């Protein structure tokens, strides 16, 4: 027993101080994209051609990047001859409405949550049922890791539960395949109202690399009312955690 105590003392405190402390992210981390619109040659379109999911568009000489479609592969940044597109280390990417995931010029102000009164109900405790609607297990793995000692999701009053009957909200990953559509709808109906829906990852938001495939439904928003969008492919655990904490903190707004 003494050996166990000694080992615990040597290991120290392993849970990160987030959100109070600044997170330490790896150098190769790709966060929020950034476009230097003033230096962009709208007639170039090299980045548009390089994007595998059509996340980049250029209409009327105005480039735009949809983070809901973006795979954060950085092929666009590599293809840009002027180097006007880069990926920062900003991990906070979640948005309340779908249009706020689109980077454009001019950038409109971000929309607030639609129903703050409903969010206030979950400010102390938030129980989520996770559904993999045809995902590759990338987003699912980063959701699961939030329950480890490093992130300790439970200290925020957030838990992943086994039954939708015990859940306050639905956390969806995957593009919603045809085979999972009915299961997703049944799970949503089993949630006691008022219920929340969170779309995690490019697949759950837009279909990701499977967008417009005949066997997928291009994400959850076409089937269920989504309250929070968390982009990425897959999103970093801190990106997911930031989104969940943002959802809970909005419940404190008067």
Are 230 and 143 in the same domain? Answer: yes
In the chain, the number of structural domains is 2
Q: Supply angle C-alpha 70, 72, 74, rounded to 5.
A: 115
Q: Rounded to the nearest 5 degrees, what angle is found at the Cα of 18, between the Cα atoms of 17 and 21?
A: 70
CATH number at residue 207: 3.40.50.12280
Rounded to two decimals, the pTM is 0.92
Q: Do 238 and 138 belong together in one domain?
A: yes
Whichever domain contains 76, its CATH number is: 3.30.70.3270
pLDDT of residue 102: 94
Looking at the structure, do residues 49 and 148 belong to the same domain, yes or no?
A: no
SS3 string, the chain, reads CHHHHHHHHHHCCCCCCCCCCCCCCCCCCCCCEEECHHHCCCCCCHHHHHCCCCCEEEECCEEEEECCCCCCCCHHHHHCCCCCEEECCCCCCCECCHHHHEECCCCCCCCCCCCHHHHHHHCCCEEEEEEECCCCCHHHHHHHHHHCCCCCHHHHCEEECCCHHHCCEEEEECCCEHHHHHHHHHHHHHCCCCCEEEEECHHHHHCHHHCCCCCECCCCCCCCCCCEEECCCCCCHHHHHHHHHHHHHHHHCC
Pair (237, 128) in one structural domain: yes
Q: Is residue 23 domain-resident?
A: no
Asked if residue 184 and residue 67 are part of one domain, the reply reads no
pLDDT of residue 254: 39
Domain around 51: 33-91
- Shared-domain flag, residues 56 and 161: no
Residues 49 and 132 grouped into a single domain: no
Establish if 107 belongs to a structural domain: no
Distance, in Å, from the CA atom of 118 to the CA atom of 115, rounded to the nearest integer, reads 6
Asked if 62 and 183 sit in the same domain, the reply is no
82 belongs to a structural domain: yes
pLDDT for 3 = 84
- 16 lies in a domain? no
Q: What's the confidence (pLDDT) of residue 209?
A: 93
Tokens of 247: 């959802």
Low-confidence stretches of the chain (pLDDT beneath 50) = 253-254
70 and 155, same domain (yes or no): no
pLDDT tens digit sequence for 169-211: 999 999 999 999 999 999 999 999 899 999 999 999 999 999 9
């Amino acid at each position: 027993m003494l050996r166990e105590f000694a080992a615990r003392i040597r290991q120290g405190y392993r849970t990160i101080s987030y959100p109070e402390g600044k997170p330490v992210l790896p150098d190769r981390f790709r966060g929020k994209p950034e476009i230097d619109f003033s230096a962009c040659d709208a007639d170039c379109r090299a980045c548009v051609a390089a994007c595998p999911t059509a996340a980049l568009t250029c209409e009327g000489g105005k480039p735009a990047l949809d983070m809901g479609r973006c795979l954060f592969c950085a092929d666009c940044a590599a293809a840009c001859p002027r180097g006007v597109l880069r990926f920062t280390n900003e991990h906070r990417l979640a948005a309340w409405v779908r249009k706020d995931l689109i980077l454009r010029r001019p950038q409109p102000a971000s929309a607030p949550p639609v129903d703050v009164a409903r969010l206030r109900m979950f400010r102390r405790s938030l129980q989520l049922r996770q559904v993999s609607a045809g995902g590759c297990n990338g987003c699912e793995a980063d959701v699961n890791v939030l329950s480890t000692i490093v992130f300790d999701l439970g200290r925020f009053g957030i838990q992943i539960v086994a039954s939708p009957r015990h859940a306050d909200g639905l956390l969806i990953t995957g593009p919603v395949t045809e085979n999972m559509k009915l299961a997703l709808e049944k799970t949503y109906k089993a949630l006691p109202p008022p219920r929340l829906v969170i779309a995690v990852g490019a697949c759950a938001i837009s279909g990701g690399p499977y967008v417009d495939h005949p066997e997928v439904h291009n994400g959850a928003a076409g089937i269920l009312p989504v309250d929070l969008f968390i982009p990425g492919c897959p999103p970093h655990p801190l990106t997911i955690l930031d989104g969940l904490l943002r959802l809970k903190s909005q419940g404190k707004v008067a």
